[in-house]
Structure 1
Amino acid sequence: MMANDVWELMINTFEYERRRCKKEFDEICERSSYQLIELRNNQQLQGFIGYWDFSKWIAIEHLAVQSGENKSVIIPALLNMLLSAKSDGSIIISEIDIVHDISTNSDKLLFNKLGFVENPYVYIQPSYHKGCASFPQKILSYPSAINYESFKELRSILYRFVYGKKAC
């Protein structure tokens, strides 16, 4: 079960369309393929990463930093914790919003500094809820770019296991 402060950070960071309901998250947290990494200082939550371990693919579903914390410190710390835990040859990916002005997308720059690469394929992130909008995004991958066949495989896995949708 997800800690209350993690859930509070989740709902304060992500719009309804971009997160599950609490009951669904509690159920997801019970699955062996879903993991949470929390960063705390004196028991105070600074941020977290929620990710799926699909063996070949490690898919970051949510990354959030507590208001008032320094994102340029917390995001690399969380990503380094994940990279250290998953140094088994898996490809680590994250969905990121398409932003045309790179200076307004500081999160992407932090991923890039750690070696994540933006792939050229447009990815449509489904909403978690029926009737809500989907979001065009790009996929960042670590340690290197992925080819189109790998992208299609990944998209199919994400749609099926993360979003409960049929592959397109």
Structure 2
Amino acid sequence: MNEKPIINETEFNEIFAIMEASFPVSEIRTRSGQQALLNHPYYHLYTRRNAEGRISAFLAAWELPELRFVEHIAVNPELRSGGIGKQLMSEFIAASDKPVLLEVEPPDGELEQRRIGFYERLGFYLNPYEYVQPPLRAGQADLPLRIMTYPEPVTVEQFGRFRDLLYTEVYGVDARNRV
């Protein structure tokens, strides 16, 4: 999982279709914004293909010097509950020698609790610190989320450092103006 594969237009279209089917608009960039990330040296897409060679799942991650951040992981809705997402995430974290972070919705409802449980079964910890995702599209508000970490929970100091890295590197905002 260390090589950055070249993504062609067809592959990008397949990935973006799964993304749109899997996430609310508030949690994904515009098509052009998402496509622009393909040129970023820290941004990587990992995929799984079905027997016909079409992309059935993907994991979008930021390979930062201090941590690995999973921005999105999704499986084609027609293929969910078959273990593809678990396999993709398990391989990703097994290849990590740095902390792995991801964002989840607060555990307010059954669906959110199930998602958190999925990551906890993989060894992630739900951290108690307040966190918001900066808007991914113009006109959107901050999105209250929580940070999960692997292989262990983080201290408040680590959380602050990791949050600031996400703000500056992933979201392109000045962390000093966000806290």
TM-score normalised by structure 2 residue count: 0.85
Note if contact 1:34-1:53 (Cα within 8 Å) is conserved in structure 2.
yes
Note if contact 1:72-1:110 (Cα within 8 Å) is conserved in structure 2.
no
Give the superposed CA RMSD.
Answer: 1.7
| 1:166 to partner: Cα distance | 1.5
Instruction: Please give the per-residue CA displacement for 1:127-161, whole angstroms capped at 9, x wherever unaligned.
Output: 11222122111111000000011111111111111
Distance 1:72 1:109, change over 3 A: farther
Taking only the aligned residue pairs, the percentage that are identical comes to: 26
User: What SS class does the counterpart of residue 160 from structure 2 fall into?
Assistant: helix
Please list, as runs of the form range in 1=range in 2, the aligned pairs for 1:147-166 lying within 5 A after superposition. Answer: 147-166=155-174
Question: Is 1:54 aligned to residue 64 of structure 2?
Answer: yes
Distance 1:20 1:104, change over 3 A: closer
Unaligned ranges ≥5, structure 2: 1-6
Q: Distance in 1 between matches of 2:58 and 2:132?
A: 24
Of the candidates 134, 141, 145, which is equivalent to residue 149 of structure 2? Answer: 141
Question: Is 1:35 aligned to residue 33 of structure 2?
Answer: no
Q: Distance in 1 between matches of 2:140 and 2:21?
A: 19
Distance 1:103 1:26, change over 3 A: closer
Structure 2 match to 1:91: 99
Note if contact 2:44-2:61 (Cα within 8 Å) is conserved in structure 1.
yes
Q: Distance in 1 between matches of 2:81 and 2:169?
A: 29
- The alignment covers a number of residue pairs equal to 166
Q: Distance in 2 between matches of 1:104 and 1:17?
A: 16
Unaligned ranges ≥5, structure 1: none
